[in-house]
Amino acid sequence: MDDDLSELMDAVRKPYVARFTGLVALIDAFCDAHLTVEYRRLCREMAVAV
């Protein structure tokens, strides 16, 4: 797990950790294929905020 993700995981409530991990996998795959690392970081942050 990279440092950015481990910091975000601290903000995720325990019942949602598994769902968040799955969502991050989808986000990362999409961003790696179509966007930049900066967008991946922003998308992860938005996922935590919701």
Query: pTM of the prediction?
Result: 0.80
In this structure, are residues 12 and 46 in contact, taking their beta carbons and an 8 Å threshold? no
In this structure, are residues 24 and 47 in contact, taking their beta carbons and an 8 Å threshold? yes
User: Which residue shows structure tokens 């919701």?
Assistant: 50
Q: Per-residue pLDDT tens for 8-26?
A: 888 899 999 999 999 999 9
Which has the closest alpha carbon to 39: 21, 6, 30? 30
Residue 2 has pLDDT above 80, yes or no: no
In this structure, are residues 44 and 5 in contact, taking their beta carbons and an 8 Å threshold? yes
Residue 3 has pLDDT above 80, yes or no: no
Work out the number of other CB atoms within 10 angstroms of the CB of residue 34. Answer: 8
